[in-house]
């Protein structure tokens, strides 16, 4: 019998009903909320059958992803490409690297739209792994970097035009700045010390917003397939070996700059307090973790990166931390319509964390640039 756990019972009940459409052979057992994504809703579904197991069920947030069927098309393209590459790439042979599999619904499609228009999809559950919101130690840092580098290596030769743009404007910082500015024109600025801090913070750094886009327009950087969201908890770590075993959350894989990914992985990994900390004033960027993440990343990615790619590594980590702060702050001002928030000021607090992290990155600019030069 289906067992429902968790607070949002009606959502869980709907998830359980939809789950039946993905796994007709076997009885759906326990359904529970899973992970802590800021955008989509994720559930772990257990199946009671001869070969009992679990699968992942997700409801895609269609306010964010307005064409979710494109996500599924990309997932097929990427996972098939990676699996093909893995069969022929000596870099992979002998190491564990799992690729999530899409489960078709009973009508043969890759997704299911329920009565109220919600978009659901199911995927294989990767066994024997664990995830962490922050970096535990040097080995974990290196493995996280290695996972992102390996992922890039596996997809970098996939022609960008084979991929759909699932989220137009994603990581294009000037676009986020325009959205924030448009809000200022519409709204009378509310006043509080935190709001003032954020506004001043953004104003002092608006000149940075174009750095990667300008480099791309000037032909210094080029678009390649990227992950889009390679934060620490999207890397799955094998429980027994401590080695990275997979990278998940492929919804934002699309053509972009690898600098977005490197910046995002570093801003996520080098913040030991984590992006959800309440103690935003204590947030700092940890250079030791940065070194280990880069070492892991470059052990894989060095073979396809151009010299110009290295030139923008410092700019990318500062920019993506700033950009995420700007995205959280704008969402707070807009009433928390994009990122899920547990309380009204949640996205304001998240913005403060990223802005404080940006300051810490800036205060260590020389040291971080010197570290990057060691690999050039
Ligand atoms: C969102 O939903 P989640 O947690 O996988 C966001 C990322 C942010 C991240 C910050 C599509 O990812 O860009 O870096 O929150 N995803 C989207 O935790 O906007
Ligand atoms: Mg994500």
Q: What is the CATH number of the domain that holds 181?
A: 3.90.1200.10
Number of compact structural domains in the chain: 2
Q: Would you say residue 132 lies in a domain?
A: no
| pLDDT on residue 50 | 60
**Ligand lying closest to the C-alpha of residue 341:** 1
Q: Would you say residue 16 lies in a domain?
A: yes
Give the residue, out of 34, 39, 226, with the most ligand 1 atoms within 8 A of its beta carbon, to mutate for a pocket test: 39
**Ligand lying closest to the C-alpha of residue 42:** 1
Q: What is the largest CA-CA distance in the chain?
A: 62
For 61-79, what is each residue's pLDDT tens digit? 999 999 999 999 999 999 9
Residue 248 in contact with ligand 1 by CB distance below 6 A: no
Lowest mean pLDDT among 77-86, 182-191, 198-207, 295-304: 182-191
Q: State percent of the chain over pLDDT 70.
A: 95
User: Any alpha helices (H) in the chain, and if so which ranges?
Assistant: 9-19, 68-88, 138-155, 173-186, 193-205, 211-217, 258-269, 287-301, 307-311, 313-334, 346-363, 365-373
CB 18 within 8 A of CB 2: no
Q: State percent of the chain over pLDDT 90.
A: 86
Whether residue 33 is predicted with pLDDT greater than 90 in this model: the reply is yes
Q: Is the pTM of this model over 0.85?
A: yes
| pLDDT on residue 9 | 79
Residue 38 in contact with ligand 1 by CB distance below 6 A: yes
125 CA distance to ligand 1 middle (Å) = 20
C-beta neighbour count of 30 within 10 angstroms: 18
| pLDDT on residue 186 | 72
Query: Is the same domain home to 148 and 99?
Result: no
50 CA distance to ligand 2 middle (Å) = 33
Q: Would you say residue 130 lies in a domain?
A: no
251 CA distance to ligand 2 middle (Å) = 7
Query: Is the same domain home to 175 and 240?
Result: yes
| pLDDT on residue 1 | 44
Domain that holds residue 16: 3-125
282 CA distance to ligand 2 middle (Å) = 25
Residue 247 in contact with ligand 1 by CB distance below 6 A: no
CB 222 within 8 A of CB 216: yes
Query: Is the same domain home to 231 and 311?
Result: yes
Bridge partners of 256? 224
Q: Would you say residue 133 lies in a domain?
A: no
Query: Is the same domain home to 193 and 118?
Result: no
Residue 249 in contact with ligand 1 by CB distance below 6 A: yes
CB 309 within 8 A of CB 259: yes
Averaged pLDDT score across all residues of the chain? 93
| Calpha distance 343→352 (Å, rounded) | 15
Q: Would you say residue 289 lies in a domain?
A: yes
Ligand 1 atom closest to Cα of residue 231 = 14
Residue nearest to atom 8 of ligand 1 (CA): 229
């Amino acid at each position: 019998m289906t067992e429902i756990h968790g607070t949002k019972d009606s959502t869980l009940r709907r998830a359980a009903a939809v789950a039946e459409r993905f796994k007709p052979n076997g009885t759906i057992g326990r359904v529970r909320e899973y992970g802590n994504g800021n955008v989509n809703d994720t559930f772990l579904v257990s199946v009671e059958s001869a070969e009992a197991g679990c699968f992942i069920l997700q409801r895609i947030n269609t306010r964010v992803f307005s064409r979710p069927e494109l996500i599924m098309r990309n997932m097929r393209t990427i996972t098939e490409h990676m699996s093909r590459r893995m069969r022929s790439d000596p870099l992979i042979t002998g190491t564990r690297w799992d690729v999530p599999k899409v489960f078709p619904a009973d009508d043969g499609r890759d997704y299911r739209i329920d009565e109220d228009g919600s978009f659901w999809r199911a995927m294989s559950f990767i066994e024997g792994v664990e995830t962490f919101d922050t970096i535990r130690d040097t080995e974990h840092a290196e493995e996280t970097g290695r996972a992102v580098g390996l992922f890039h290596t596996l997809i970098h030769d996939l022609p960008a035009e084979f991929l759909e743009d699932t989220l137009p404007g994603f990581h294009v910082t000037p676009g986020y700045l325009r959205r924030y500015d448009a809000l200022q024109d519409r709204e009378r600025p509310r006043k509080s010390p935190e709001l003032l801090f954020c506004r001043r913070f953004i104003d002092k750094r608006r000149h940075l917003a174009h750095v990667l886009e300008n480099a791309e327009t000037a032909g210094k950087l080029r678009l390649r397939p990227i992950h889009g969201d390679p934060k620490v908890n999207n890397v799955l770590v094998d429980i027994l070996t401590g080695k990275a075993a997979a990278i998940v959350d492929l919804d934002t894989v699309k053509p972009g700059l690898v600098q977005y990914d490197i910046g995002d992985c570093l801003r996520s990994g080098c913040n030991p307090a984590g992006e959800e900390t309440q103690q935003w004033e204590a947030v700092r960027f940890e250079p030791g973790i940065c070194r280990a993440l880069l070492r892991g990343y470059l052990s894989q990615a060095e073979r396809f990166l151009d010299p110009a790619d290295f030139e923008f590594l410092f700019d990318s980590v500062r920019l993506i931390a700033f950009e995420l702060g700007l995205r959280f702050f704008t969402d707070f001002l807009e009433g928390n319509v994009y990122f899920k928030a547990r309380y009204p000021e949640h996205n304001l607090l998240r913005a403060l964390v990223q802005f404080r992290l940006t300051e810490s990155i800036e205060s260590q600019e020389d040291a971080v640039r010197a570290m990057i030069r060691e690999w050039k």
